[in-house]
Amino acid sequence: MRISPKKRVIGIALLTAVSVMGDAMLFIVLPLFWHEFGLTALWQIGVLLSVNRFVRLPLNPLVGLFYKHFQLRTGVFIAVGLAMLTTFSYGIFHSFWILFLMRALWGVAWSLLRLGGYLTVIEAADDSNRGRFVGLYNGLWGIGGLVGMLAGGILVDLTSVSFVTSLFAMLALLAIPAVWFLVPVKAAHKIGEQQNDGNKSWFTSHVALVLTTSLSMGFIVFGLFASTLSPLIERSYQTEWTVAQLVIGAATLAGVIQAVRWSWDPFVAPWIGKCLDRSKSKIRLLLIPLFSGSILLFLLGHVQTIVLLLIFLLLFQFISTFFVTTADTLATGVATRSNRVKLITAHTIAVDLGAALGPLVAFYLLEFYTLSIVYSFASSLLLLLGFTWMYHIRRGG
Residue 247, classed as helix, strand or coil, is strand
Alpha carbons 110 and 16: distance in angstroms, whole number: 8
Q: What is d(CA 169, CA 82) in angstroms, rounded to the nearest whole number?
A: 10
Does a structural domain hold residue 310?
yes
In whole angstroms, what is the distance from residue 213 CA to residue 95 CA? 36
Residue 197 lies in a domain: no
CA dihedral 176, 178, 181, 182 (to 10 degrees): -100
How many residues does the structure list for the chain?
A: 397
Residue 189's alpha-carbon distances to 65, 69, 71, 382, in angstroms, are: 9, 6, 8, 36
User: pLDDT tens digits, the chain, 397 residues: what are they?
Assistant: 566 777 878 888 888 999 999 898 887 788 777 888 888 887 888 888 888 878 888 887 888 788 878 888 888 889 999 999 999 999 888 889 999 999 999 999 988 988 877 777 777 777 677 777 877 887 788 788 778 877 887 788 778 888 888 999 999 999 898 888 777 665 444 544 444 444 456 677 788 898 999 999 999 998 899 888 878 887 777 665 555 455 566 666 776 777 777 678 778 888 888 888 777 777 788 899 999 999 999 999 998 888 888 899 989 989 998 998 888 888 877 777 766 667 877 888 898 889 888 888 888 888 888 889 999 999 999 999 999 999 988 886 5
Domain hosting 217: range is 5-182+203-394
Task: State how many domains the chain has.
Answer: 1
- What pLDDT is attached to residue 265? 76
**Paired strand residues for 325:** none
Q: Report pTM.
A: 0.71
Is residue 191 assigned to a domain? no
* Rounded Cα distance, 63 and 67, in Å: 6
Q: Is 189 part of any domain?
A: no
Amino acid 192: pLDDT: 46
d(CA 109, CA 76): 8
Q: What is the structure's pLDDT at 184?
A: 67
Q: How many CB atoms lie within 10 A of CB 33?
A: 18
- Is residue 94 in some structural domain? yes
Q: What share of the chain is helix, strand, coil (3-state, %, to 5)?
A: 80, 0, 15
CATH of the domain at 295: 1.20.1250.20
Half-sphere exposure of residue 321: CA atoms within 13 angstroms, side-chain side: 30
The CA-atom distances, in angstroms, between 103 and each of 29, 222, 227, 230 are: 15, 16, 15, 20
pLDDT at residue 195, rounded to an integer: 47
194 inside domain: no
CA 52 – CA 341 distance, rounded (Å): 21
- Residue 21 domain flag: yes
pLDDT at residue 29, rounded to an integer = 83
188 inside domain = no
Q: How far apart are CA 105 and CA 55, in angstroms?
A: 8
